[in-house]
Structure 1
């Protein structure tokens, strides 16, 4: 249904499509949102808002990109809008811990060391400015190609490459500290 123009889709078909999108991309969108807001409960709320917004905006989907790309663009713009909002800038949320869903074989010592390194890497990535954090996240955590990232972020592919390169340099500097 990606290529289909969504202008004349019945309400039932829209609900079915949004359910499929939530099943297929819900976890990805939640992780993406968390990478922006650093609070799991807030990320869940914003993810729900994103799917409501997507449902209401299905008629605007023209099939020029995949539904996934369209949905990611909505999610990223929604996150950026939230980060610029009065609420975000004036209300202090309670911190939460990022829950790792990692299962490894090996000794407890190896698992503890790996978890510590993973936490350090996540902390380093989350500490990057949004411009760099989003390209690192999309590229390494979601395996999104540069051209698709450019469409999602509404920038030139060379801009994505430059941001990735700068983000890697910043991460290397932080990692070496």
Structure 2
């Protein structure tokens, strides 16, 4: 195995996959990190996403079908992962809200738009402050628009447990939002 691009497909063997991913990381981790940084423009986020990309590659290596080189396949996964991140609820609702220009009302915004934006920011902050067990179900149900049945499959939890958590999360959020409004 001289080059990662020349390695055989059908990587069912765990040790073989580890060796291939190690080789890919040695050769391409810096390049992938730079690619990711061009998407997210944040060093810490780029490092986190790069790790996620190599984990995803390891998990999906058995699906590599030699229609491209491993390098091309790796870059495609990296690019798609970054695009998914940029479309994610976290990026759109949290990361962008941290930017100063979002807090400076433009002259063209109406008072209603400014109030709606403030309420959205308060709600996003309140959701992020929920305990994880509630935050997870709120995120999957309201932001990913998944049904309780779908969430049950993802989390391996009873749908009734999820209903209870969703109800409790709404109560906590209602209390926080009422408190903020005072």
Q: TM-score, normalised to structure 2's length?
A: 0.49
**8 Å Cα contact 1:4/1:63 also seen in 2:** no
Moved runs in structure 1, 4+ residues, more than 4 A? none
1:12 aligns to 2:15 (yes or no): yes
Q: Give, in whole Å, the separation in 2 of the partners of 1:63 and 1:46.
A: 25
Q: In 1, are the aligned partners of 2:11 and 2:61 still within 8 Å (CA)?
A: no
- 1:92 and 1:15 mapped to 2: Cα distance? 33
**Aligned equivalent of 1:84, options 74, 80, 87:** 87
Equivalent residue, structure 1, for 2:77? 74
Structure 2: gaps (5+ residues) = 100-182
Q: Corresponding residue for 2:57?
A: 54
Q: Could you tell me how far 1:92 is from its partner in structure 2?
A: 2.4
- The correspondence for 2:47, drawn from 41, 44, 49, is 44
Relative to total residues, which structure has the larger helix share, 1 or 2? Answer: 2
Say whether 1:22 aligns with 2:12. no
Q: Which consecutive unaligned segments of at least 5 residues does structure 1 have? A: 96-177
TM-score (norm: length of structure 1)? 0.50
- The structure 1 residue matched to 2:34, chosen from 13, 31, 34, is 31
Q: How many residues align?
A: 95
Deviations 1:99-153 (A, max 9, x none): xxxxxxxxxxxxxxxxxxxxxxxxxxxxxxxxxxxxxxxxxxxxxxxxxxxxxxx
CA contact (8 A) 1:18 1:55 kept: yes
**Larger Rg, first or second structure (1 or 2):** 2
CA contact (8 A) 1:14 1:55 kept: yes
Whether contact under 8 Å (2:17, 2:61) holds in the other structure is yes
